[in-house]
Amino acid sequence: MKTLQALILASLAALVLSACSQQEENDTREKAQSSLEQATEATQQAASDAADYTRETAERTGDFLSDSAITARVKTALFEADQVSAGNINVETINGHVVLSGVVATSEEAELAAQLAQGVEGVKSVENDIEVQE
């Protein structure tokens, strides 16, 4: 049954195509060419947009990874310093700017933590929000 329908449709299509004038064929070709050109332009634009999005995402990801690396290096520097209670200090990094928070025993310890953080490669600035325990 499906084969018969396909044969009938094919026959009708052939009949319609043979009835088309040369002008109709030319019009059809021109419309097809125009549609193809529009589709090509749309595809190129979509590819360009996708490339831009991918590039921006990669840059944001790179920034995040850099911030994570800076945070890890600051925490390592704090843990390596015997005079700092590194476990009591939180480190956050946003675009290379480090924020230290937490509670330590002395103001000297808080200041040393900030100095250590400032000495880490990639750190642009340090905000010392460490509180001194009273």
| pLDDT at residue 97, rounded to an integer | 96
Q: pTM of this prediction?
A: 0.56
pLDDT in tens, 52-94: 666 666 566 555 569 999 999 999 999 999 899 989 999 999 9
Token digits of residue 114: 């900030």
| pLDDT at residue 92, rounded to an integer | 96
pLDDT in tens, 90-116: 999 999 999 999 999 999 999 999 999
Residues whose CB is less than 8 angstroms from the CB of residue 102 and which lie 6 or more positions away in sequence, other chains included: 88, 89, 90, 130, 131
